[in-house]
Amino acid sequence: MRNRSRVLELAVLGLLHAAPMHGYELRKRLNEMLGLLRPFSYGSLYPCLRELADKGAITASGDLDQAPTASRRGRIVYQLTTAGAELLEHLLGEAGPASWEDENFDVRFALFAQTDVDTRVRILEGRRIRMAERLDSLFTAINRGQPADAYTAELQRHSLDQLEREVRWLEGLIDAERAGRRVGRSLTPVHAPIRGAHLSQSIKETT
């Protein structure tokens, strides 16, 4: 639970570094940054804002004793302080194993524009090694025995494909960082291919 709070804290600081905003706008930006796989609500966001305010990392233009509501969500505007900027810089400089684990990597990557190149490369390399380890473990498991049914086999292939794609993606990012190139704005999300044809064939083979 504490790690989740720390991830949210970093995301909030990173967004407020760009511009002050009220709670509703902050929640909206968090969802835009991290996507639907990591939804945020006032139930988790407001305690985080209160804790950051108590630390002196942010200031608010309104009363923090009551959580924002839909009727007055624009009244409290949050802004990063000097202490908050220093805390953000410290957090962005961390590049240990936690930074490339599943729970943290998406937030860290979303804030790469505010992260120095050496730290970015260390995080990307750590993530690549972790994904390569998972890929090797899955490949070994697949070769060790036959799956229970066609659907299990298809799920294994899908997972293998996702891991292979992420390893290639990470290797491309690492090469770009080392060559001094920044990720272009034209980069679009990569979606796993639909494997319906493979599944249909697998089902036919079992019937």
For the chain, the domains span 2-99, 116-206
| pLDDT mean over 134-154 | 87
Average pLDDT of every residue of the chain: 81
Specify the higher pLDDT residue, 14 or 181. Answer: 14
| Beta strand 77-80 pairing with 21-22 | antiparallel
Q: What is the pTM of this model?
A: 0.77
Which residue pairs, CB below 8 angstroms and at least 24 apart, start in 58-66? Answer: 58/12, 58/13, 58/16, 58/84
Q: Exposure string (b/e) for 115-135, b if CB count within 10 Å is 16 or more?
A: beeebbebbbbbbbebbbebb
Terminal C-alpha separation, the chain: 46
Measured on CA atoms in the order 8, 11, 15, 17, is the torsion positive or negative? positive
Q: Report the range of poorest mean pLDDT among 39-48, 81-90, 92-101, 136-145.
A: 39-48
Specify the higher pLDDT residue, 40 or 90. Answer: 90
Q: Report the range of poorest mean pLDDT among 33-37, 85-89, 153-157, 199-203.
A: 199-203
Q: What is 2-99's CATH number?
A: 1.10.10.10
CA distance 87 to 140: 42
Q: Which amino acid is present at 179?
A: A
Q: What pLDDT is stored for residue 44 in this prediction?
A: 82
The closest alpha carbon to 162, from 145, 139, 182, belongs to: 139
CA distance 154 to 147: 9
Specify the higher pLDDT residue, 69 or 144. Answer: 144
